[in-house]
Amino acid sequence: MEHALTATPAWVSLAYLIAGVLFILALRGLSSPETSQQGNRYGMIGMVIAVATTLIVHGVGLPLILAAVAIGGGVGYVIAQRIQMTAMPQLVAGFHSLVGLAAVLVGVAAFLNPVAFGIADLIHVAVHFPGVQIDPTPVGTIAIIHPASRVEMGLGVAIGAITFSGSVIAFLKLNGNMGGAPILLPARHVINLGTLVAILALIAYFTTDQSAWVFFTILVLSFAIGFLLIIPIGGADMPVVVSMLNSYSGWAAAAMGFTLQNTAMIITGALVGSSGAILSYIMCTAMNRSFISVIAGGFGGDAAGPAGASGPAKAYKRGSAEDAAFVMKNAESVIIVPGYGMAVSQAQHALREMGDLLKKEGVNVKYAIHPVAGRMPGHMNVLLAEANVPYDEVFELEDINGEFAQADVAFVIGANDVTNPLAKTDKTSPIYGMPVLDVERAKTVLFVKRSMGGAGYAGVDNPVFYMDNTMMLLADAKKMVETINKDLG
């Protein structure tokens, strides 16, 4: 029997350890806007060290690897130059799918050639001729994958496949190729639970039988469950889904790190997986939802239809940009609430200009951010940072919600679901129990919306539209804010 493992040089372990420390510092830096750029630098340096170390250790096929890196880096550069900030959520989902697919491909390669990955023992096979006193005739060798490696491999390809197919569905939903409403299959919970149990049972059986049918059945079922898990999840839960898929991609990378015996992948994958899981928990807490209920899917399935789709038309007060400028110029305090409507129209720069003009008039301006506003965690924070909005003017829900009652104006720009008071009062609403920004408590609510003919991503009408203290500003968000700025100037 021959063993394929080789000892890892001490300097390699040290380099990977340094890279891991830099990744931890990167996560710490990214926890605050003020230190985020430094955190990004730490992460970039750590990745350079990890990649360079791996290339030095595994020098075989280096030209081909460098060519692949050049192609991938070139594609990434082009995407980074062309991508709009409004498309960032689907871009993140797309990148998650690639991480999952990479884990799957590594797992398949390791299964097909385990000796090259150092996860198998070679056993010589010989033929004994009965009644003949001669040495056995050797006929070849069989690679027996280590039982522990089979577990790692099975979990790696399963999580990778779930990440890939789930991320593809998330991408399609976020990109508008699929509707945001949940797609509810009959007996979906039974099907999903049965499929997950089958995957785990096959991984356990894989430790005793490394047949190809077992491995590829795990792979196929995992692709299927990723699809089945995401299609029932509605639009209101998409920020949690993006965070959850981020966590999955990390665990897939960590599992493949064990297969490749690569310390850097294990550390990096564990950091991404754990941080993504923590973020998912925080997001669920912000929505007053359990993680299991999100995974079970169907949130928003019983939502009301879009505003104005049925029933008598409701009365509302419509205002103009001139009206909005007059009200805000004469206010003492204005709280701006950005949402996905701001992202779609790319109004963040005009919004910052509006804030600057109001501050010149002596108005106290603050920005209120809901944790799940937009389509991914931190979506609004990223857009406001891009527009150079001062960090000290941006506040999270729990820090600013009590100030709406004292605010003269709440300027809501495309944030429907996260300002909907039905979440506090209507137990039949699919968003019931989700903490929301109390914009209706402000003396005046200026609500920027393209038209009254559509509801938010969760498909729920918002009573704030029809309140006496609300003035609806119906127009494209960017054009409306730019017109307000002209009147303020």
- List, as one string, the DSSP characters of 402-442: GGGGG-SEEEEES--GGG-THHHH-TTSTTTT-----GGGS
Q: How far, in Å, are 312, 334, 409, 444, 469 from residue 406 at the CA level? A: 34, 10, 9, 11, 14
Helix (H, G, I), strand (E, B) or coil at 458: coil
Residue 450 is given by DSSP the state S
Closest by alpha carbon to 280, among 238, 252, 251?
238
472 C-beta neighbours (distance < 10 Å), count: 19
Cα separation of 309 and 294, whole Å?
27
Cα separation of 112 and 102, whole Å?
15
Helix (H) or strand (E) holding 445: strand 444-449
Measure the N-to-C terminal CA separation of the chain; round to a whole number of Å.
Answer: 83
Burial track 232-271 (b if 16+ CB lie within 10 A, e otherwise): bbbbbbbbbbbbbbbbbbbbbbbbbbbbbebbbbbbbbbb
**Cβ atoms of 313 and 466 closer than 8 Å:** no
**Cβ atoms of 200 and 221 closer than 8 Å:** no
Closest by alpha carbon to 252, among 164, 159, 165?
159
**Cβ atoms of 488 and 325 closer than 8 Å:** yes
Which one is catalytic: 237, 417, 438, 461? 417
- Which residue reads 């603050």 in tokens? 366
**Cβ atoms of 288 and 436 closer than 8 Å:** no
Cα separation of 329 and 324, whole Å?
8
What are 127's strand-pairing partners?
Answer: 137
Closest by alpha carbon to 436, among 409, 452, 406, 456?
456
- Which residue reads 């009590």 in tokens? 402
Residue 417 bears catalytic tag: yes
AA identity, residue 148: A
User: What are the catalytic residues?
Assistant: 417
